[in-house]
Structure 1
Amino acid sequence: MDALLIILVAVAALILFAVFRNMRMQKHLTTLTEEQFKEGYRKAQLIDVREPKEFDRGHILGSRNIPLSQMKQRMGEVRKDQPVYLYCQRGSRSMKAANLLRKNGYEGLHQLKGGFSKWTGKIKVKKKGY
């Protein structure tokens, strides 16, 4: 019985931590629908945080690729004086990238709801060179 209580308390603590962390992140990151995203991304820095192979298979027209795995090293490429529109495949990596940017003084952070997998707008596919 004591072990079950300990497990339940641990699970509850993990759930509360996840909810608190998500609520805190929502203060600094705006999740936008595709229509809202389309309204503002041309006046912002549009960054695809997926890996290069994913980017090459298709990306939102006008975006540049700064993979989450390289964000710390390449953060200087992102301007602090302009809004930042982020996306990944489904949304988890863009949230992590936004958290990293926020911790380094960036504001005006936005992400695409549902990520690239839900995008219906124009895309570009990198041609393979043979």
Structure 2
Amino acid sequence: SNLLEGTFKQVYVGQVRELVEQGAFIVDVREVNEYAQGHIKDAKNIPLSEIRDRLSEIPKDRPVYLHCRSAQRSYNAALALQHLGYDNVFNVAGGFMGISFYEYYNDKVLDREPIVTEYNFN
């Protein structure tokens, strides 16, 4: 597996805000209805089931950061993209749930602008 070979890259929820601020290419692979209930601002919604049909929307010349609710679907999406020749793909460990918990806490403590449209805790 890619994990055993050490070629699988991931980032953690604490790194997501910096990625957003840098204008990183973030793909939310959850279903459309999940995305509508809250998502990272500027994240592109391409459900896992549609990835192969929408490759033209995913750049090969810059890093691509994938996330879902918990990180399972985005893990599968990352593996699929790697097999399709994308070599700069990252999975966001913790998923949108992790991002929501982390960002909610820090947004409240630091009184800062959220990077998500809504927090999702379940």
Question: TM-score scaled by structure 2?
Answer: 0.76
Answer yes or no: is the 8 Å Cα contact 2:28–2:46 preserved in 1. yes
Q: How does 1:24-63 map to 2 (within 5 A)?
A: 24=5, 26-27=6-7, 29-41=8-20, 42-63=22-43
1:118 is aligned with what amino acid?
Answer: G
Per-residue deviation, 1:80 = 0.2
Which residue of structure 2 lines up, in the alignment, with residue 73 of structure 1?
53
Computing the radius of gyration from Cα coordinates, the structure with the larger value is 1
Answer yes or no: is the 8 Å Cα contact 2:13–2:95 preserved in 1. no
Residue ranges of structure 1 left out of the alignment (5+ in a row): 1-19, 126-130
Which residue of structure 1 lines up, in the alignment, with residue 89 of structure 2?
109
User: Secondary structure at the residue paired with 1:86?
Assistant: strand
More helix by share: 1
Answer yes or no: is the 8 Å Cα contact 2:66–2:90 preserved in 1. yes
Q: Which of structure 1's runs of 4+ aligned residues deviate more than 6 A? A: none
Answer yes or no: is the 8 Å Cα contact 2:67–2:74 preserved in 1. yes
- Percentage of identical aligned residues: 34
- Listed one character per residue, the Cα deviations across residues 3-59 of structure 1 (whole Å, up to 9, x for unaligned) are xxxxxxxxxxxxxxxxx56424x51x3221122233334342110000000000000
Question: TM-score scaled by structure 1?
Answer: 0.72
